[in-house]
Chains A and B, each alone.
Chain A
Amino acid sequence: MSAAGQDVLLRVEHLTMRFGGLTAIGDLSFTAARNDITAIIGPNGAGKTTVFNCLTGFYKPTEGSVILTHEDGKQFLLERMDDFRISQRARVARTFQNIRLFAGMTVLENLMVAQHNTLMRASGFTVTGIFNSPTYVRANREAVEFSEYWLEKAGLVDRADDPAGELPYGDQRRLEIARAMCTKPVLLCLDEPAAGLNPRESEDLNRLLLDIRKEQEIAILLIEHDMSVVMGISDHIVVLDYGVKISDGSPAEVRNDPAVIRAYLGVEDEEEAEAVVESAVAAAAKKPARTKVAAKKLPARKKGARK
């Protein structure tokens, strides 16, 4: 689907992030096209989450730049922006590897908080809102309707008035995505959305993701370990290992890249490794529903990886 010359949404250039002596990301460059799904894969500790944190302003990168271009041509230098401005102005939303919901607030409240900036403007920054100004009342009603729209997509309408902390794990994952979508982003960063889900929950999640991909004009950055999901859904894959990009291209290119196979399986016999990856992908391709049962999860980093 994607091609090089296509409209670039996100351009990461020479991104480097050091923590003391540890280089979590070293000179990473890649691009993500508008309306594409770009997967970032790599073993645990490869620096994937750190990339997200640099994109969303939670960490200030040691070096490098991250440029986001809106459709109207407006450019944002994300590495210079405050974290909340990145969501507010550049319209980048994210989820977290360890779910961060507002556990003591209801599901609906979670989604309303995500529409904070719109509602804040409508409430005249509280000054008119406190008198229940008609503008605010209307905006509030629209916000509830918009939340309802996303609750339906996430299959959570029945739980709208329950505290988020009481939802089962899979629902929490979907709620977090719905909440991110309520900020109306142009780029959605998902950090291991399928981690820890059971097959049913995984299926619900995939349905939500495919729906977003089909119906929303949005680009997705996806960190995921499940190769069946990654290979099946993404337009473009970036592979990290020890903070360094070792491969970058379409799923087919990445799948056949010897460097990837080495990093993932730590085997010298590349043919054998290739066979493992192939079979995993083939199994996934056979089942369009992508149930977790069939998908063999690749080991994060096989023990005794020889270098």
Chain B
Amino acid sequence: MAIVPKSNDVMTETQPLNIAAIAKDVLFTAILAFLILGPILGLKTFAITGSLALEQRWGMVSVFVAIVAGGRLAYHLLVWNKPQAKPARAISMPTLPVMSFGKYIIPVVLLVAIFLPFLPGVDRRIVDLAILILTYIMLGWGLNIVVGLAGLLDLGYVAFYAVGAYAYALLATIYLPAWFGDGIVPWAFFITLPIAGILAALWGVILGFPVLRLRGDYLAIVTLAFGEIVRVVLINWSDFTGGPAGIGGIPRPSFFGLPFTDGEGGFAAFFGLDFKPIHRIIFLYYVILVLALFTNFVTMRLRRLPVGRAWEALREDEIACRSLGINTTSTKLTAFAIGAMFAGFAGSFFATRQGFVSPESFVFLESFIILAIVVLGGLGSQIGVVIAAIVIIGSFEVFRELNFLKAVMPAGFDPVQYRMLAVGAALVLIMRWKPRGFVTRREPSVILKEKKAIPTDLVAEGHG
């Protein structure tokens, strides 16, 4: 009933509501919703003694169809037929005030990041989550070089992450002890980290070379294929990679040679602290924080170097670049290589943190999540990546916290089951709302007199 006066309002102020058209549209929506939800949701197949049977759930279907149709009706009455639809649109598209507050936000965020493990109320779970988010921030920053700066669409980025992780896993468990004896193990992480980065960069060049000529969607799909090839090889080359089971028993990092163990010679004993497992977590946190900040620092510096400007120019117009004497081949390859290198670093960190790697961690979905972080943040924006990583990875975590829903929903309801569904749908909606991502300004890399941010509407999306 509440809707009726509202619709009367509308009628007096704008042209009369076309009831028949709305009814038709809502009916059509309902039918469509029924077609989509009916068979898959309404008839659940389950196995009984070698064949399949159906469980009918029409009640659920009718609830969802009613929700969809009701939503459509509400939209008709409240949004589309509202007087002055324009301002409503403007309100629904706020611009994030990142640039204007940027000056203060960045130092504050940095301070919080540096002292996070010691802030009151921060427990192991939060530090773990922070480590996860920082890993994705680092991956996002790495991919931002390739996609955001050079404009090369890479859907197989996770392959380099895998190269780094496996490089660390294999070197630390097999090769380093074999070559230099077991004494090397506590130092394995610090020795392997650069090697993993270099190996990943090498793979960046190897995979980058054949795809130099490709553009746009073709580049995306070939990089996707390369990512899958790497994964299939990891699964099937059992002698080397351990196959689907992966590699376990990977040494945990030490505090520059001091292991995080209880008793003599451990980190806690050396510094006269009580042994606590969280010491290692906190150490890992600082390792990834340093790695991520290093990634950011290098990227920011590269942007101000000719190679970084050439990347951005490449994204803007490849032909103009060539007419100015820029070797686009090597420019693209350096972008692939440096982006891959950071993924390699992140991969070794992942391996040492988990103590275990398997091909399952390097599926296409991971590449997509990293790309989504970059696009959602706003291509090329470093702070955008931070925001998007917190939003996306954070929202995954939120689903774990929704346990109260279990109480109100039918038995067997587990919110975690729905997180990918929700994230997929959220991405579709966010792209409609902000196709350019959260941060829609680009910072110039060099200034003559005054700094003016560039609206990203002008910035090209790259063609490669």
- Could you tell me which A residues sit within 8 Å of B by CB distance? 56-58, 83-88, 93-94, 96, 100-106, 108-109, 112-117, 119-120, 123, 125-126, 129-130, 136, 144, 147-148, 151, 157, 160-163, 165-166, 179-180, 183
Contact = CB atoms under 8 A, between A and B. Distances in A.
B309 A113 contact: yes
Interface string B440-459: 00101111111110111011
B310 A108 contact: no
Given A104-B459, A123-B305, 18 more contacts: A84-B323, A84-B326, A85-B325, A93-B324, A96-B319, A100-B320, A102-B460, A104-B312, A109-B309, A113-B324, A116-B324, A116-B325, A117-B325, A129-B305, A157-B448, A160-B449, A162-B452, A166-B458
Contacts of A160: 448-449
Given A103-B458, A179-B324, A130 B447 contact: no
B298 interface: yes
B94 interface: no
21 contacts: A84-B324, A87-B324, A96-B320, A101-B316, A103-B460, A104-B315, A106-B444, A109-B309, A113-B309, A116-B309, A116-B310, A123-B305, A123-B306, A130-B301, A136-B305, A144-B446, A160-B448, A162-B452, A163-B454, A180-B323, A183-B324
B448 A113 contact: no
B98 interface: no
Nearest to B323: A94
A68 to B, nearest CB: 14
B370 to A, nearest CB: 23
A-B pairs with the 9 shortest C-beta distances?
Answer: A104-B459, A87-B325, A88-B325, A102-B316, A119-B306, A165-B458, A160-B448, A100-B320, A163-B454
A260 B319 CA distance: 33
A144 B309 CA distance: 14
A123 B307 CA distance: 9
Contacts of B62: none
Nearest to A102: B316
Contacts of A166: 458
B445 A104 contact: no
Interface of B: 298, 301-302, 305-307, 309-310, 312-313, 315-317, 319-328, 334, 442, 444-452, 454-456, 458-460
Contacts of A148: 448
A102 B312 contact: yes
A148 B313 CA distance: 19
Contact of A120 (B307, B442, B446, B452): B307
B454 A106 contact: yes
A56 B447 contact: no
Contacts of B447: 106, 108, 161
Given A84-B327, A104-B316, A130 B305 contact: yes
A175 to B, nearest CB: 12
A102 B455 CA distance: 14
B139 to A, nearest CB: 21
A250 B447 CA distance: 45
Nearest to B317: A100
Contact of A130 (B302, B309, B320, B327): B302
A83 B323 contact: yes
Contacts of A125: 307
Nearest to B448: A160
Contacts of B324: 84, 87, 93, 113-114, 116, 179-180, 183
Contact of B444 (A105, A126, A129, A165): A105
A112 B446 contact: yes
Contact of B310 (A106, A113, A165, A179): A113
Nearest to B315: A104
B450 A161 contact: yes
Contacts of B446: 106, 108-109, 112, 144
A170 to B, nearest CB: 18
Contact of B313 (A84, A85, A102, A165): A102
A183 to B, nearest CB: 6
B63 to A, nearest CB: 48
Contacts of B455: 163
A114 B306 CA distance: 10
B176 to A, nearest CB: 28
A161 B312 CA distance: 16
Contacts of B315: 104
B336 to A, nearest CB: 15
Contacts of B320: 96, 100-102
A113 B313 contact: yes
Given A56-B323, A161-B447, A161-B449, A104 B442 contact: yes
Contacts of A108: 444, 446-448
A161 B452 contact: yes
Nearest to A91: B325
B448 A161 contact: yes
A291 B305 CA distance: 42
Contacts of A56: 323
A149 B406 CA distance: 69
Contacts of B310: 113, 116
Contact of A104 (B302, B305, B454): B454
B449 to A, nearest CB: 6
Contact of B445 (A109, A115, A123): A109
A105 B306 contact: no
Given A100-B317, A102-B312, A113-B321, A126 B302 contact: yes
Nearest to B460: A104
A144 to B, nearest CB: 7
A93 B326 CA distance: 12
Contact of A161 (B334, B444, B459): B444
A117 B313 CA distance: 14
Q: Which one of B319, B324, B459 has the greatest number of beta carbons of chain A within 10 Å? A: B324
Contacts of A117: 325-326
Contacts of B307: 120, 123, 125-126
B322 A101 contact: no
B311 to A, nearest CB: 10
A88 to B, nearest CB: 4
B452 A112 contact: no
Contacts of B321: 84, 113
Contacts of B301: 130
Nearest to A86: B325
A84 B305 contact: no
B312 A105 contact: yes
Q: Which one of A113, A157, A160 has the greatest number of beta carbons of chain B within 10 Å? A: A113
B328 A84 contact: yes
A117 B134 CA distance: 36
B317 A102 contact: yes
Contacts of B458: 103-104, 163, 165-166
Contacts of A85: 325
A105 B305 contact: no
B305 to A, nearest CB: 5
